[in-house]
Structure 1
Amino acid sequence: MSLKDSLEPIFNKLPAVASPEGHVHFKNKLMWTLGILVLYFALANVPLFGLSADSIDLFESYRAFFAGASGSLMLLGIGPIVTASIVLQLLVGADVIKLDMSNPSDQAFFQGAQKFMVFVMIVLEALPQIAGGYIQPDAALAATLGVNTGVITFIIFIQICIGGVLVLFMDEVVSKWGIGSGVGLFIVAGVSQQIVTGLFNWTSDTSGLPTGFFPKWIYILQNVEADFLFSGDGIMFMLVSGGILALVSTVVIFLLVVYVESTRIEIPLAHSAVRGARGKFPVKLIYASVLPMILVRALQANIQMVGLLLSSKGITFLGEFSGSTPINGLMYYLAPIHSPYDWIPSLVRESFTSYGAPVPAAWQIILHVFVDATFLIAGGIVFALFWIETTGMGAKPTAKKIFNSGMQIPGFRRNIGSIEKVMIRYIPKVTVIGGAFIGFLTLVASLLGTLGGAGGTGLLLTVSIVYRLYEDIASEQMMEMHPMVRSFFGQE
């Protein structure tokens, strides 16, 4: 008996959201999606019972695309889902687990394995934070209740696990009953909230300036001399501290992603039975979407977590940390770039002085940027290729889908092999180019920074997900008006 045959009965018994028996009407899908979104915001505002204010958020820098909320039930966010996906995609891509993703049976096994792995990752991401002392129990509450702090710690652990499981099933509800995916929906919700905060928040930051862009400039115009603003230091102040660079970056990235999302190669199709019925199959430049960027950043986040946990135990050969920020060693070079404070020498000096750590030399800063660029571009290509194979977007599954819909490519025989040969000409190449391009775009956005500290990756993901959500809504409305279109999408 193979390992697959042994594990399949276990995966089949895992709790799951029931799939709809027939077509779910657009209005119902919209209601499910909005309902889960409201539930997400509600859970993100439910604080963990017994959590001490001295606790440290290990993933603070990654909140934009982990879609979590510090100190709440949503502490882990989509982290376990993404990490499970990374592990399985690497195992399948390296042929450690041999699966044919065009086979429905293997697809079902992959989905079952991914769900099982998510449960494992929920525990593995929660335990180190507790064992490392980053998530701390409230000693005063323990004394009031007359219990040991270990009891409060266990209660916190259970709450975190419950939150992680809720995110998994909320994602499943959206995927089966709603529009798009829950993972994408939660990212959009979190980043949008950060951008709105970055525009209108009146709360002062550590420099004494209001956090929001508009309140900040009202304060600057009222309190800062014009002579200073137009000096060399003043221009740097306006660009970075004043948020102009972040605003320009946010707008440019938004426009670029919308343009790139609309850039595509269209392969002509004709219906084999209905003369004159023609269509096109679009192969987008960002064919694998920008979701592989989550996998790249999540991989970096997990590497940083390992370094941070070792550092907390006095093992510093990988690097030392100030809070959750690496300040030297290998971990410094492997850390993602988040803003100009990570690569502009004067701003890096300012940051490291506040940490009380030695300031990196110019060559170290350049190497840090180079390593992050390599991670994003090479990782974007690798994970984009894995992504299309594990989600049924590769040449073979796509050819089968087109064939089953009754369509064919004019000038070629009507069989799956002929369609697949045409798809092989385009899909792998476009996937590689798109993966590299989206990695480069993420790097640029990360270097320039964004409004609200959402980060280049978070902004990029949000714009792309919203654009694709708009397309999904348009296609759902089309299927409502033309039920025959559902056959192409494999729906009843």
Structure 2
Amino acid sequence: MSLKESLKPIFNRLPAVASPEGHVHFKNKLMWTLGILVLYFALANVPLFGLSPDSIDLFKSYRAFFAGASGSLMLLGIGPIVTASIVLQLLVGADVIKLDMSNPDDQAFFQGAQKALVFVMIVLEALPQIAGGYIQPDTTLAATLGVGTGVITAVLFIQIFIGGVLVLFMDEVVSKWGIGSGVGLFIVAGVSQQIVTGLFNWTADTSGLPTGFFPKWIYIIQNVGADYLFTGDGLMFMLVNGGILALVSTVIIFLLVVYVESTRIEIPLAHSAVRGARGKFPVKLIYASVLPMILVRALQANIQLIGIVLSGRGITFLGEYVGSTPVSGLMYYLAPIHSPYDWIPSLVRESFSSYGVAAPATWQIALHVLTDAVFLIAGGIVFALFWIETTGMGAKPTARKIFNSGMQIPGFRRNIGSIEKVMMRYIPKVTVIGGAFIGLLTLVASLLGTLGGAGGTGLLLTVSIVYRLYEDIASEQMMEMHPMVRSFFGQE
């Protein structure tokens, strides 16, 4: 018996959310989606019992697209799901695990393997943080309860594990009973919260200015003289500290993503049995969506986690850290760019002086930016190609879906092979171009910064996910009004 056959019964026994037996009405899908969203916000505000205030959030810089909340049950966010997806896609892409993703049985095996791997990743992402002393038990609480800190540590791990499992099943509920995906929904929720905070928060930041854009400018108008604002230093102050650069970047990224999402190649279709029934199959420029960017950033986050854990143990050959920020070595170059403070030399020196360490040279900063650019663009292409194959969006599965719906491409024979040949002309090429473009767009957004510190990746993901969610809602409403349309999407 092959390894795949022996693992299948184990994967089939894993707990799962039951799939709907028939069509789920639009109103019910909307209620499930909103219900899970409310539950996510509730869990993100449930603090971990026994967590010490001295704990360090290793993923603070990645919160926007990991959809987690520091110090809460949602500590890991979607990190384990994304990491499991990365590992499995790389194994399948390298033919270590041989799967034909157009085969329904292999698709089911892939999904089962991914779910099993998520449980493993929850443990692998939680334990290093606990063992490394970054997630610390509250010694005062342990003394009050009369137990050892080991007991509180165990309780913390159990809570984090439960939180990770809840995210997994919440994502599954949205995917099967709601609209879109839970992963996308949680990212939108987290980033939107950061953007609102970035607009209206009155709390002072480290510079003494209010965090929110509007309170910040009320403060600047009242307390900073106009003669300073129109000097060279004053202009830099307004652009960076005043948040103008972040605001402009946010607006530009929003408009660009909406424009790019509407850019597509439309392949004409005609029904083989109903004369005059025609349609179009759209191949978007961002065909694989922007979700592969999560995989790229998650890969960088896991690389940084390895460096942080080793540095905490005194092993610094990969680089040294101040908190969760790399300040030297290979890990400095592999760290993602988040804002102008990571690449404008004067701002980099300002950041490193606050850490009490020597700032990198200009060539080192340039190499850091170049490394991140290669990660985003090359990674965007690779993961976009993996994404379409593992989600059934490749040329072969798409051709089968079109054929099964009774449609064909005018001027070609009505068989799967003919449709697949046409799809092969467009889908792989558009996927590569779209992956590279979205990587470049993410880099630009990360260099300029965004409102609320959501990050270029987080903002890009949010705008694209919301746009796709709008299209999904429109599609659901269409299928509700025209039940025959459901056959094209493979729904009963």
SS at 1:160's partner residue?
Answer: helix
Deviation readout 1:143-179 (Å, 9 max, x if unpaired): 0000000000000000000000000000000000000
Distance in 1 of aligned mates of 2:462 and 2:36: 17
What residue in structure 1 maps to residue 483 of structure 2?
A: 483
Distance in 1 of aligned mates of 2:297 and 2:227: 42
SS at 1:489's partner residue?
Answer: coil
| CA drift at 1:109 | 0.2
| CA drift at 1:53 | 0.2
SS at 1:279's partner residue?
Answer: strand
Distance in 2 of aligned mates of 1:222 and 1:248: 23
Distance in 2 of aligned mates of 1:12 and 1:274: 41
Deviation readout 1:162-218 (Å, 9 max, x if unpaired): 000000000000000000000000000000000000000000001110000000000
Distance in 1 of aligned mates of 2:367 and 2:207: 29
Deviation readout 1:81-136 (Å, 9 max, x if unpaired): 00000000000000000000000000000000000000000000000000000000
SS at 1:317's partner residue?
Answer: coil
Distance in 1 of aligned mates of 2:177 and 2:68: 22
What residue in structure 2 maps to residue 164 of structure 1?
A: 164
Deviation readout 1:329-367 (Å, 9 max, x if unpaired): 000000000000000000000000000111100000000
Matched residues, percent identical? Answer: 91
| CA drift at 1:264 | 0.1
| CA drift at 1:269 | 0.2
Deviation readout 1:206-239 (Å, 9 max, x if unpaired): 1110000000000000000000000000000000
What residue in structure 1 maps to residue 139 of structure 2?
A: 139
What residue in structure 2 maps to residue 234 of structure 1?
A: 234
Distance in 1 of aligned mates of 2:75 and 2:181: 20
CA RMSD of aligned residues (A): 0.2
| CA drift at 1:35 | 0.1
| CA drift at 1:379 | 0.1
| CA drift at 1:395 | 0.2
SS at 1:281's partner residue?
Answer: strand
SS at 2:267's partner residue?
Answer: strand
Distance in 2 of aligned mates of 1:312 and 1:32: 43
Distance in 2 of aligned mates of 1:399 and 1:437: 26
| CA drift at 1:73 | 0.1
SS at 1:42's partner residue?
Answer: helix
Distance in 2 of aligned mates of 1:24 and 1:487: 14
| CA drift at 1:403 | 0.2
Deviation readout 1:430-464 (Å, 9 max, x if unpaired): 00000000000000000000000000000000000
SS at 1:22's partner residue?
Answer: coil
| CA drift at 1:384 | 0.1
| CA drift at 1:391 | 0.3
| CA drift at 1:469 | 0.1
What residue in structure 2 maps to residue 47 of structure 1?
A: 47
Distance in 1 of aligned mates of 2:211 and 2:357: 26
Distance in 1 of aligned mates of 2:165 and 2:104: 26
| CA drift at 1:267 | 0.2
TM-score scaled by length of structure 1? 1.00
What residue in structure 1 maps to residue 382 of structure 2?
A: 382
Distance in 2 of aligned mates of 1:388 and 1:205: 42
SS at 2:280's partner residue?
Answer: strand
What residue in structure 2 maps to residue 221 of structure 1?
A: 221
Listed as ranges, the gaps of 5+ residues in structure 2 are none
* Counterpart check, 1:309 vs 2:309: yes
Distance in 1 of aligned mates of 2:210 and 2:109: 51
| CA drift at 1:479 | 0.1
Distance in 2 of aligned mates of 1:95 and 1:206: 49
Distance in 1 of aligned mates of 2:207 and 2:387: 42
Distance in 1 of aligned mates of 2:58 and 2:223: 36
| CA drift at 1:16 | 0.1
| CA drift at 1:321 | 0.2
Distance in 2 of aligned mates of 1:370 and 1:3: 42
Distance in 1 of aligned mates of 2:206 and 2:106: 53
Distance in 1 of aligned mates of 2:204 and 2:236: 20
Deviation readout 1:405-447 (Å, 9 max, x if unpaired): 0000000000000000000000000000000000000000000
Distance in 2 of aligned mates of 1:117 and 1:35: 27
SS at 2:33's partner residue?
Answer: helix
| CA drift at 1:43 | 0.1
Distance in 1 of aligned mates of 2:121 and 2:43: 20
SS at 2:399's partner residue?
Answer: helix
Distance in 1 of aligned mates of 2:276 and 2:301: 52
SS at 2:98's partner residue?
Answer: coil
What residue in structure 1 maps to residue 150 of structure 2?
A: 150
Distance in 2 of aligned mates of 1:368 and 1:18: 46
5 Å-filtered alignment, 1:57-76, equals 57-76=57-76
Deviation readout 1:278-328 (Å, 9 max, x if unpaired): 000000000000000000000000000000000000000000000000000
Listed as ranges, the gaps of 5+ residues in structure 1 are none
Deviation readout 1:30-55 (Å, 9 max, x if unpaired): 00000000000000000000000000
| CA drift at 1:256 | 0.1
* Counterpart check, 1:95 vs 2:95: yes
SS at 2:283's partner residue?
Answer: strand
Distance in 2 of aligned mates of 1:313 and 1:118: 26
Distance in 1 of aligned mates of 2:266 and 2:295: 28
Moved over 6 A (4+): none
